Structure 1
Amino acid sequence: MPRGSFSAIGAAAALTVALTGALTGCSSSSQPAAGAGAQSGGTLVVGVTSDPDTLFPWKATQFQAVNVLQNLYGTLTEFDKDLNVVPGLAESWQASGDGKKLTLKLRQGVTFSDGSAFDSQDAKWSLDQIMDEKTAAVARASLSSVKSVEAPDPATVVLDLTGPDAALPANLATVNMAMLSSGDTEAKLSTDPNGTGPFTLRNRQASQSITLARNDKYWGGEKPKASAIEFRVIPDESSIVAAMQSGNVQLAVFNDPLVAQTAAAGTINVAKTPQLNYHVLQLNAQHGDLKDVNVRLAIQCAIDRKQVLDTAALGEGEVTGPITAPAFKSDPQQRPCPGRDLAKAAGYLAKAGKAGGVTVKTIVSQGEYATSVNEAQNLKAQLAEAKINLELEVLESGAFVDRWGAADFDAAVALNGGRPDPDGSYGRYFTSKGNFNKVAGYSSPELDKLFAEGKATTDQAARKAIYDKVSAQLEDNAVWIWLFSGYTYTATTAGVQGFVPMANGSLQYLRTTSVG
């Protein structure tokens, strides 16, 4: 692409994942190669704004942690650049006729970074541990359809299911479902990762950098192009641009469009990629005044989402409803207040007996993504006009994640990752047994039933209709206030080739990236 210009990567239609027959086997995967003439070797320095808060893949929610871990660990399935589900550590899979068994054939010759072999016992142990509530794995709800896991031979894993689960192959592709070596512990892996991914951990300097070394025994065909990847912690995006201009950093992914414009005005290449993630004001319906749906609806009606987008992100994005995956996308006009309506907001407050106003204690992350504080300040200003006081508490990224994970907030200004399947995005939040339901603060029998139907249905049109009902339930009860989806801006210096930005924000294609 031309230097200093923006380029959209992929049309939204390319993101659509055909889930009809999703439980049927796949047998091949496509990986983009590095650019013609690119040479292997060298260290690629990636600028990031926060240090990973964990190196244990089953509990990672922070974006920076996920981006590091997906280069250290492997999963049974993977996403390709268009978010199609393709083989990973499982080279194929096949559902039984009644959809109650899913049989996965594992790759042979795969080893962990400690040299031990990966086989079906490791896969069974990993899935069993993820499903064990005591593990507190963040993806546990994604395996809710799995009754048991069997390993009849070293190359075969059989999942016994309660019924068909159209979302399962996609759910297995996230790093929160990483395959670990049997018996490895969280304590050990928190300092000494042991995965099957394209890189291994070389060293870590807390709050400064984490460096990965190429795994020459990586199973995925061609070995990674770069000999090492260093994630260098630089607290703000503008400083990362300066580091790129001076030649100290070669790649970074920005959230702030103003920073991206500054980078693109020089000699840095910038690629603009629409994202499935969504900016949201999370409301905890188990706390204080927010227990009353009328207070939550008042908040919904008092916010002009386009104003938040324009103020915080220069209009770079689009107002969104709950579901951002193109095949299931929500219509943001289908909500009680599709536009700002202060009269309706006042009416809802009066109905709640709060005509004099309410105060909502709100946590905000600083460092995990660039637009958070600006979003929070705009929301505070807008809601003040409706006698709703957002009492903001700005936290560094790690502290925010801790408070968020403990559901220790009334409201939270957040950026949540989106997925190509709605069950993966929301099943863990809004079902009564979802492992993040405490964080979500809301569930209902209607939502439990709809999510169960969504998993059990393989017809694409029927699934879309089900998740339209899910979206309506979430909006009509103002469970959260969905704001907008934006872009990421991938900045690279001259000589960097082969990186593929993805709509889910993944940095998995660092494995194909070379630095000249």
Structure 2
Amino acid sequence: MKHPLESLKTRLATGSMSRRQFMRSVVATGISAAAASSVADQVMAAAPKRGGTIRIGKGHGQTTDTMNPGTAENGYMVNLLQSFHGYMTEVAPDGSLVPGVAESWEAADGGKTWVFDLRKDFTFHNGKTVSPEDVIASINHHRGEDSTSAAKPLLSSLADVRADGPGRVVFELTSGNADFPFTLSDYHIPVGMSEDGKVDWKTGVGCGAYKLDNFEPGIRADLSRNDDHWDLENRAFFDSAELLAIIDANARQSGLLTGDLDAIDKLDLKTIERIKKAPGIKVHSVPGTQHFTFEMMCTSDPYTDRNLRLALKYAINRQELVDKILFGYGVVGNDHPIGQGQRFFNKDLPQREYDPDKARFHLKEAGLDKVKIELSAADAAFAGAVDAAVLYQNSAAKAGIEIVPVREPNDGYWTDVWNVKPFTAVYWGGRPVEDLMFSTAYESGVPWNGTRWSNARFDELLVTARAELDEEKRRQMYYEMQELVNMDGGLIAPMFASYVFGTRDNVGLPEGFASNWDMDGERCIERWWFT
């Protein structure tokens, strides 16, 4: 149970209690006035302060990025979109779901109908009140035959969305979905301003904690605090922010070491011990759902053959990659996208090990004695992706598989290489619930199914599990889905990587970081502060 003093300290730090009230309450617990005053000083010194401009270097971003939230696909854009946009719901640092633009919601008809009540007097950055019509237009941006949004499959079961008065939106689904409120937290689905029934995403007007002042794709974005936001007591402590796209790890780290940057993501793990020893720098490691993968297109030869896919899965030394690419900042993966800390992780599925003999066996089952294939990789995929491809090349050679690493350009990797070439290195941030991850990238025919894998049994289970309210029945279905991806899919998931990022020591940080995305759920701009 949390000690009463800790609760009082939290209330003082967040401003829900005055110093005088804190002193009176602490003294009442038997602590002396002098000791209570000292504690108050410490809490006030560590409490979030307002002011300053934070400069963040991200190892993502490309010149082809746009403000269209439906097509965003890298960490830079996730951070940017969540900084100036508002969302119906948000994933809190502890993984729970909390209100955003919607202040409350409830389900009916076994999860087939969801009713969301919007926050009152909530406005966009230009002063326009957020209305149900804005929500409806924002949702419909991801629906319909012409939609190119990666969120389209997440809303495939949505039959209708309608207004019910000035502050209520009703979602009617074709089948029940116990996790539907989590769907509306997805970074692709912000609440944008509507015009003539369509969302206007090009102007950069949002309703988030920061306003977007400038955006140069692949270079930088500049933001300033939205002083009319509903939750300024708990977020948006910086006056402004500079979000810089810096793919080169050495350049990012140099900026952090010299003080030109206040925070960076994707630290170079090869040199992390030197970074740790540098004065004024803090290194943070957060386990989460992030996984680094190699994806085979199951519709392109030779990957159409299940045995060839299995040969490639047995031909990779997972532990070697964790040791030499992640330097221990992660764990081995098991060729599916669900992390060990997630609710329905299949702990009963045997861990696939490096086994050249089994790889060679499946290669022969595919009618081959040897095979030569190209593997596309770039640092834009994940730090060390090219090195990982070389290590994979060495381990696969023992099974008669010749892998040829192809170093691709960083700029344009996500538009010209991933989801285009048949065998590529990929990173995934994961999703807070299993349904979102599977619906985004593994359901047959969805835009981000980079493996082009299609399995009727998997698709059936996905729909059934989504509507199932019995926890144990859902578990068994998600267990089977992970096994299907593991045994039949085009995914090689050798490692789950911790989020490792660095900050200057003048950056104030919360007690715990979110683990659904890098840098505190990619909400560092609104959750951090300067001490």
Query: Which interval holds the TM-score relative to the shorter structure?
Result: 0.7 to 0.9
Give the secondary-structure state (helix, strand or coil) at the position aligned to 1:511.
helix
Q: Is the 8 A contact 1:58 1:138 kept in 2?
A: yes
Q: Which residue of 2 aligns with 1:42?
A: 52
Match runs of 1:237-386 below 5 Å: 237-267=249-279, 268-321=281-334, 322=336, 323-324=338-339, 325-331=341-347, 334=350, 338-355=352-369, 357-367=370-380, 369-386=382-399
Q: Is the 8 A contact 1:63 1:368 kept in 2?
A: no
Q: Which residue of 2 aligns with 1:214?
A: 225
**Offset from partner CA, 1:256-296 (integer Å, 9 cap, x none):** 33343322111211121102111111111000110000110
In the superposition, relative to structure 1, how do residues 188 and 392 fare at CA in structure 2: closer, same or farther (>3 Å)? farther
Structure 1 gap ranges (5+): 1-32
Q: Which residue of 1 aligns with 2:18?
A: none
Whole-Å separation in 2 of the counterparts to 1:144 and 1:208: 34
Q: Is the 8 A contact 2:124 2:207 kept in 1?
A: yes
Q: Which residue of 2 aligns with 1:430?
A: 442
Whole-Å separation in 1 of the counterparts to 2:172 and 2:457: 26
Q: Which residue of 2 aligns with 1:419?
A: 431
Q: Is the 8 A contact 1:133 1:140 kept in 2?
A: no
Whole-Å separation in 2 of the counterparts to 1:435 and 1:182: 25
Bigger Cα displacement from structure 2, 391-400 vs 87-96:
391-400
- The answer on 1:466 being equivalent to 2:477 is yes
Q: Which residue of 2 aligns with 1:389?
A: 402
Q: 1:154 aligns with which of 162, 166, 169?
A: 166
In the superposition, relative to structure 1, how do residues 259 and 111 fare at CA in structure 2: closer, same or farther (>3 Å)? farther
Q: Report the number of matched residues.
A: 478
In the superposition, relative to structure 1, how do residues 382 and 333 fare at CA in structure 2: closer, same or farther (>3 Å)? farther
Shift of 1:371: 2.2
Shift of 1:122: 0.7
**Offset from partner CA, 1:112-133 (integer Å, 9 cap, x none):** 2232221101111111221223
In the superposition, relative to structure 1, how do residues 308 and 123 fare at CA in structure 2: closer, same or farther (>3 Å)? same
Q: Which residue of 2 aligns with 1:30?
A: none
- The answer on 1:132 being equivalent to 2:166 is no
Q: Is the 8 A contact 1:319 1:332 kept in 2?
A: no
AA at the equivalent of 1:45: R
In the superposition, relative to structure 1, how do residues 132 and 495 fare at CA in structure 2: closer, same or farther (>3 Å)? same
Shift of 1:188: 6.6
- The answer on 1:108 being equivalent to 2:120 is yes
- The answer on 1:513 being equivalent to 2:525 is no
Whole-Å separation in 1 of the counterparts to 2:45 and 2:402: 52
Give the secondary-structure state (helix, strand or coil) at the position aligned to 2:73.
coil
Whole-Å separation in 1 of the counterparts to 2:100 and 2:504: 30
Shift of 1:484: 0.9
Bigger Cα displacement from structure 2, 107-116 vs 149-158:
107-116
Q: Is the 8 A contact 1:40 1:227 kept in 2?
A: yes
Q: 2:494 aligns with which of 478, 483, 486?
A: 483
Q: Is the 8 A contact 2:102 2:116 kept in 1?
A: yes
Give the secondary-structure state (helix, strand or coil) at the position aligned to 2:115.
strand
**Offset from partner CA, 1:384-434 (integer Å, 9 cap, x none):** 2222222333223442101356x3111111111111211111113222243
Whole-Å separation in 1 of the counterparts to 2:55 and 2:92: 24
Whole-Å separation in 1 of the counterparts to 2:430 and 2:196: 29
Q: 1:61 aligns with which of 55, 73, 96?
A: 73
Q: Is the 8 A contact 1:285 1:479 kept in 2?
A: yes
AA at the equivalent of 2:390: Q
Whole-Å separation in 1 of the counterparts to 2:446 and 2:127: 36
**Offset from partner CA, 1:214-241 (integer Å, 9 cap, x none):** 1111222426110111112333223322
Residue identity (%)? 24
In the superposition, relative to structure 1, how do residues 424 and 94 fare at CA in structure 2: closer, same or farther (>3 Å)? same
TM-score (ref. length: structure 1)? 0.87
TM-score (ref. length: structure 2)? 0.85
In terms of Rg, which structure is larger? Answer: 2
Give the secondary-structure state (helix, strand or coil) at the position aligned to 2:164.
strand
Q: Is the 8 A contact 2:192 2:200 kept in 1?
A: no
Match runs of 1:172-251 below 5 Å: 172-183=184-195, 189-190=201-202, 192-222=203-233, 224-251=236-263
Bigger RCO of structures 1 and 2 (CA < 8 A, at least 6 apart)? 1
Whole-Å separation in 2 of the counterparts to 1:184 and 1:214: 28
**Offset from partner CA, 1:339-384 (integer Å, 9 cap, x none):** 12212211211111111x2222322132353221221111122122
Give the secondary-structure state (helix, strand or coil) at the position aligned to 1:424.
helix
AA at the equivalent of 1:236: D
In the superposition, relative to structure 1, how do residues 237 and 361 fare at CA in structure 2: closer, same or farther (>3 Å)? same
Give the secondary-structure state (helix, strand or coil) at the position aligned to 1:213.
strand
Whole-Å separation in 2 of the counterparts to 1:79 and 1:34: 27
Shift of 1:199: 0.9
In the superposition, relative to structure 1, how do residues 116 and 368 fare at CA in structure 2: closer, same or farther (>3 Å)? farther
Whole-Å separation in 2 of the counterparts to 1:185 and 1:159: 17
In the superposition, relative to structure 1, how do residues 398 and 457 fare at CA in structure 2: closer, same or farther (>3 Å)? farther
